[in-house]
């Protein structure tokens, strides 16, 4: 499948800021399931800085924007050819050991309710258990936009019984770690839900490490494993660690942000 992406993140400041420094994870991952045909990231008034690939195998690009500035637009445009690998991250090069992802973070901290949910799942092997954990999270947290926010924790989303893809991913990660399965957060894009209904184009899911297979993706929000409709950008311990754009502005002005994302299928 060939997918095109047009993703714009716009920052506005109450008063001019002296400068802005950003770190981007906006380049698609390199693995057997996707191939970049065309990809460009532009930043209004920005100067491209150092670029490196981190231990998780993700490309990280630095940018600086000299002020005074009151508005910045980060635009991603590109085309990626994807293949359905049933969620398996095959051919991805990284140096971080899977057991590093057993570490708990604030958004994925386990509580009694999450522990009970994790312990309710069962399976004859780790892959079956991973599927059972994903199904359990999907049943426990209904997909409903607007009821949670960027800093909602997995425990809070479970108590509410509702949330979005970020909440599903955090809850699955927490449950997997409770069962001693390394798990991490993944950011990317999604073309559509399985029945073709448009969904959150900027998307998130989780990857769990399975012996013999390696990292396998699970998307409880859509009750599936990532397939050809998904574009993978990068991974981390949680949503904050995996943010596609991170940055700091010098000047102390209030900041507002809006995001628009369009993911479409292109003719072969």
- pLDDT on residue 193: 57
Question: What number is the average pLDDT over the span 140-146?
Answer: 94
What mean pLDDT is reported for the chain?
94
Q: What is the DSSP string of 73-95?
A: EEEEEEEEEE---TTB-TT----
- pLDDT on residue 201: 74
The span from the CA of 140 to the CA of 96, in Å, is 31
- The domain defined by 85-236 carries CATH number 3.10.620.30: yes
∠ Cα 157 140 160 (to 5°): 30
Q: Reply yes or no: is the peptide bond before residue 228 cis, omega within 30 of 0.
A: no
Domain boundary assignment for the chain: 2-81+244-266, 85-236
Whether the CB-CB separation of 221 and 186 falls below 8 Å is answered with no
Question: What number is the average pLDDT over the span 13-19?
Answer: 93
- pLDDT on residue 253: 76
Calculate what percentage of the chain has a pLDDT beyond 90. 91
The span from the CA of 220 to the CA of 143, in Å, is 9
- pLDDT of 102 higher than 70: yes
Pick from 15-29, 34-48, 191-205: least confident: 191-205
- pLDDT on residue 252: 73
Q: What is the DSSP string of 2-25?
A: EEEEEEEEEEEEEEEEEEEEEEE-
Identical fold for domains 2-81+244-266 and 85-236, yes or no, is no
Distances (CA, A) of 199 to 14, 85, 161, 191, 242: 32, 21, 20, 7, 20
Calculate what percentage of the chain has a pLDDT beyond 70. 96
Whether the CB-CB separation of 233 and 29 falls below 8 Å is answered with yes
CATH node for 2-81+244-266? 2.60.40.2250
Which comes out higher in pLDDT, residue 200 or 262? Answer: 262
Question: What number is the average pLDDT over the span 114-135?
Answer: 97
Q: Given the DSSP bridges, would you call strands 214-218 and 255-266 parallel, antiparallel or unpaired?
A: unpaired
Tell me the pLDDT tens digit for each residue of 182-227.
999 999 999 975 555 555 678 999 999 999 999 999 999 999 999 9
């Amino acid at each position: 499948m060939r997918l095109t992406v047009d993703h714009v993140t716009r920052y506005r400041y109450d008063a001019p800021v002296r400068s802005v420094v950003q770190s981007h994870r906006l380049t698609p991952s390199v693995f057997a399931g996707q191939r970049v045909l065309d990809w460009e990231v532009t930043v209004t008034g920005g100067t491209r800085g150092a670029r490196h690939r981190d231990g998780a195998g993700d490309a990280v690009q630095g940018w600086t924007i000299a002020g005074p500035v009151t508005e910045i637009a980060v635009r991603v445009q590109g085309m990626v050819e994807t293949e359905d690998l049933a969620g398996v991250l095959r051919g991805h090069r990284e140096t971080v050991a899977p057991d590093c992802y057993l570490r708990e973070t604030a958004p994925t901290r386990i509580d009694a309710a999450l522990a009970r949910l994790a312990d309710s799942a069962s399976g004859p092997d780790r892959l079956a258990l991973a599927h059972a954990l994903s199904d359990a999270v999907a049943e426990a947290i209904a997909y409903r936009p607007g009821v949670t926010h960027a800093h909602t924790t997995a425990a809070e989303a479970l108590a509410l019984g509702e949330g979005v893809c970020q909440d599903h991913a955090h809850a699955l990660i927490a449950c997997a770690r409770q069962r001693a399965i390394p798990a991490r957060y993944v950011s990317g894009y999604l073309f559509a839900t399985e029945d073709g209904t448009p969904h959150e184009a900027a998307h998130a899911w989780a990857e769990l490490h399975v012996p013999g297979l390696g990292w396998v993706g699970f998307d409880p929000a859509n009750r599936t494993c990532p397939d050809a409709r998904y574009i993978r950008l990068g991974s981390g311990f949680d949503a904050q660690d995996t943010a596609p754009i991170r940055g700091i502005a010098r000047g102390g002005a209030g900041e507002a942000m809006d995001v628009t994302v369009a993911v479409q299928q292109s003719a072969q």
